[in-house]
Structure 1
Amino acid sequence: MQTIEWQDFERVELRVGTVISAKANEKARNPAYVLEIDLGPEVGVKTSSAQITAHYEAEHLVGRQVLCVCNFAAKRIAGVRSEVLLTGAHDHAGNVVLAGFDQPLPNGARLA
């Protein structure tokens, strides 16, 4: 593992957001959702394409708080302009389990 300086970590804009809509991305080669995420007044509502269908149903994602990387350049994924990256970890089968919180947080809160 390569070590980094604290200033490197501070450059990554990790913020809490709430999923406000989730639907299947019909153009994706692998099953994925198109999510709209409210990241608070400073960042606004952003779109993300995420391959998280193994563990999550679209209707259960709405209202869920997620942790997003907000300062990557937008990327076009299967016809969707993905503006933020959801964070999570792969389970034993290689499917993403979303990072989450055990208490409600304000949209836009930065990871500390």
Structure 2
Amino acid sequence: MDTIEWQDFERVELRVGTIISAEPNVKARKPAYVLQVDLGEFGVKTSSAQITAHYSAESLVGKQVLCVCNFAAKSIAGVRSEVLVTGVYDDENRVVLASFEHPLPNGSRLA
């Protein structure tokens, strides 16, 4: 594993957001959702995420997640994805979202 300097870590904007809507991304080759994520003072951002294995669209609404907010936007299956919703692959290569045990203000930065 490569080591990084503290300044490298500080450059990554990891912030709390609440998913306010989730709909299937019908243009995606692999099952995915188009998410609208409320990041508080940073606004509502769009993300396309392949997280259908563990989550229904309905179960995602209201869930707080950890997002990388300072990647450049990119087009994913016809969706302008502005943030990366983070997670970890389980033993069957399905994403489990990074989320929080207690409610936090949207836009809070990972410390």
TM-score, scaled to structure 1:
0.98
Q: Which runs of 5+ in 2 are unaligned?
A: none
Counting aligned pairs with the same residue, the percent is: 77
State the partner residue of 1:40: 40
Tell me, in whole angstroms, the C-alpha distance in 2 between the residues paired with 1:103 and 1:20.
Answer: 17
Supply the distance in 1 between the matched residues of 2:61 and 2:102 (Cα, whole angstroms).
Answer: 17
Amino acid at match of 2:78: G
Secondary structure of residue in 2 paired with 1:7: helix
1:12 paired to 2:12: yes
Where does structure 1 lack aligned partners over 5 or more consecutive residues?
A: none
Q: State the alpha-carbon separation in 2 of the partners of residues 13 and 38 from structure 1.
A: 15
RMSD: 0.3
Tell me the number of residue pairs that the alignment of Structure 1 and Structure 2 aligns: 111
CA distance in 2, matches of 1:32, 1:86: 12
Moved over 2 A (4+): none
Q: Deviations over 1:30-88 (max 9, x none)?
A: 000000000011x1000000000000000010000000000000010000000000111
- Tell me, in whole angstroms, the C-alpha distance in 1 between the residues paired with 2:99 and 2:39: 14
Aligned position for 1:71 = 70
Hey, what's the Cα distance between the residues in 1 that align with 2:107 and 2:28?
A: 28
Could you list the per-position Cα deviations for residues 77-101 of structure 1 after superposition, in whole angstroms to 9, with x for gaps in the alignment?
0000000001110000101000011
